Amino acid sequence: DIQMTQSPSTLSASVGDRVTITCRASQSISNWLAWYQQKPGKAPKVLIYKASTLESGVPARFSGSGSGTEFTLTISSLQPDDFATYYCQQYKNDLYTFGQGTNLEIK
């Protein structure tokens, strides 16, 4: 199975900050990577798919980049609604796998 390693596991930041979350795959996944935002008690919300394609309706302050084994999710200017848990997921391999999550909290 492809292992997905997300960092950091916790990130403390302030409104207006630029933040980056990294996801590394144990082998190349080309660009078959999705990023999700999840709030307590809610289903994951897809932000980015195919590594850099912004889901319809997602604010442009979210962006994704990378290919192969290293990927990043960037939020250009944090808004109060952005404090949540973020997950990456690969779907290149037939057996999908997730990162362990990044808890983005208010500093």
Partner 1 sequence: QVTLRESGPAVVKPTQTLTLTCTFSGFSLSTGAMCVSWLRQSPGKALEWLARIDWDDDKYYNTSLKTRLSISKDTSKNQVVLTLANMDPVDTATYYCARICRFSSVHWGQGTLVIVSS
Q: Say which residues have a Cβ less than 8 Å from residue 39's Cβ, sequence separation at least 6.
A: 84, 85
**Is there a contact between 16 and 77 (Cβ–Cβ < 8 Å)?**
yes
| Nearest-approach distance from CB 31 to partner 1, in angstroms | 10
Q: What is the DSSP letter of 76?
A: S
| Residue 63 sits in the site that holds partner 1 (CB under 8 A) | no
DSSP code of residue 55: P
Query: Rule CB under 8 A: is residue 1 a binding residue for partner 1?
Result: yes
37 counts as binding partner 1 under rule CB under 8 A: no
Size of the site for partner 1 (CB under 8 A): 24
Q: Does 83 bind partner 1 (CB under 8 A)?
A: no
Phi, psi of 105 (to 5 degrees): -120, 160
CA-atom Rg of the chain in angstroms:
13
In the complex, least distance from residue 12 CB atom to partner 1, rounded to whole angstroms: 19
* Residue ranges that bind partner 1, judged by CB under 8 A: 1, 32, 34, 36, 38, 43-46, 49, 55-56, 87, 89, 91-92, 94-101
